Structure 1
């Protein structure tokens, strides 16, 4: 009889150890459009603030870079998990999808679908899950540019890159270290982005806008 109980006992012990390794703050899943730039930047924040990967997962979309497909992948990953990435089904309190406006045809559809999913999904604790879009107009690099200067007028992606390279020489997508290079101006960037949010919103076509300040604030204050 004792031998029959041993596998169950070992399994219970393993589950207890996993639960012990998970921190007390919210579990967050972030799915990004880019496969390098945004994950590297957010990964730097996670490392800097010593956020456990069991609580903060950053994954890029495996369904492609179309905004609606990013939302669909995030929903799939949340519901089904990914054993290879050690992501359990429904193991999050919050889900964020990070994508750019650019010229994406499904941009507005993605915003609407994310809003429709917000509070509709339930996690493994039977709690309603926050599901939100983190959009940037025209692109993620606007958030980095706001660390160095105020932006009020619409910019094309190429102009954002040109102006950003005045401060981050040879800036290119996929490079590491962008958080370290900009974090000293984080307060300025957040203030500027918040100001833009009072003037416009993610649904506008061309006005500069980014929700990154909200996501960064969440991650940098998660343990407080």
Structure 2
């Protein structure tokens, strides 16, 4: 009997192969505001710790870069999947929405929506998932700067970039080697981010803050 090679059957086989390559640890969906810098950073971590791509999905928001759009896209992607890229619906235990404070009007709204979704959605195993906002004030580059400096007072995005370039002269938005160039100071950055979190919160604008370390530490743990 001839083998059925229709698109529907091929997609089914591809999904089955992807399921077979999944590791036993939790499945994580990361959706970022940035289209290159943040996705590249988390993909670097995924590669460095040899995490399965079937378990760790990294996407940029396709609805827009406003914080509320990042959260909404993460929610939609979790609920509906992406059949064009063989992403199953509700196939995660954790969903993270990564975005900057900057001057976004919808920042607080995005935090509230992420909090409202946390523990309310069920995955394909009928388990309640963790849905978490990962904000940075003023921007993602604060996390990179913490690898080199202890920051205690508010900084504008431009100032963050200027300071960062003192240590990474070739740094540009969209870089593909941010993790590789900073990982030697990763534990120091985590400690400094934790110190900021002990003083400020995601709502403490304009005080410096980032939760990137929370996501990074979870990925590191999976890789052990």
Look at both structures and tell me which one has the larger radius of gyration over its CA atoms.
Answer: 1
Find the aligned partners of 2:129 and 2:182 in 1 and give their Cα distance: 31
Determine the structure 2 residue equivalent to 1:117: 117
The CA deviation string for residues 34-65 of structure 1, in whole angstroms up to 9 with x for no partner, is: 00000011110011111111100000000000
Determine the structure 2 residue equivalent to 1:143: 143
Find the aligned partners of 1:120 and 1:185 in 2 and give their Cα distance: 36
Alpha-carbon shift at residue 19 of structure 1 (Å): 3.0
Find the aligned partners of 1:119 and 1:167 in 2 and give their Cα distance: 40
The CA deviation string for residues 98-144 of structure 1, in whole angstroms up to 9 with x for no partner, is: 00000000000000000000010000000001000000000000000
Structure-2 change in CA distance of 1:166 and 1:54 (3 Å): same
Indicate the larger mover: 166-175 or 26-35. Answer: 166-175
SS of residue paired to 1:213: helix
The answer to whether the Cα contact below 8 Å between 1:37 and 1:173 also exists between their aligned partners in 2 is: yes
The answer to whether the Cα contact below 8 Å between 1:25 and 1:223 also exists between their aligned partners in 2 is: no
Determine the structure 1 residue equivalent to 2:70: 70
The answer to whether the Cα contact below 8 Å between 1:95 and 1:132 also exists between their aligned partners in 2 is: yes
Aligned residues: 218
SS of residue paired to 2:166: coil
Determine the structure 2 residue equivalent to 1:213: 213
Alpha-carbon shift at residue 205 of structure 1 (Å): 1.4
Structure 1: gaps spanning 5 or more residues: none
Q: Does 1:47 align with 2:47?
A: yes
Find the aligned partners of 2:146 and 2:11 in 1 and give their Cα distance: 49
The CA deviation string for residues 161-207 of structure 1, in whole angstroms up to 9 with x for no partner, is: 11000000032100111101000000000000000000000011100
Q: 1:1-224 counterparts in 2 under 5 A?
A: 17-224=17-224
Structure 2: gaps spanning 5 or more residues: none
Runs of 4+ in 1 over 6 A off after TM superposition: 10-15
Structure-2 change in CA distance of 1:122 and 1:152 (3 Å): same
SS of residue paired to 2:95: strand
Alpha-carbon shift at residue 20 of structure 1 (Å): 2.4
Question: TM-score, normalised on structure 2?
Answer: 0.93
Question: TM-score, normalised on structure 1?
Answer: 0.93
Find the aligned partners of 1:15 and 1:215 in 2 and give their Cα distance: 27
SS of residue paired to 2:167: coil
Structure-2 change in CA distance of 1:125 and 1:173 (3 Å): same
Structure-2 change in CA distance of 1:20 and 1:155 (3 Å): same
CA RMSD after TM alignment: 1.9
Find the aligned partners of 1:82 and 1:25 in 2 and give their Cα distance: 22
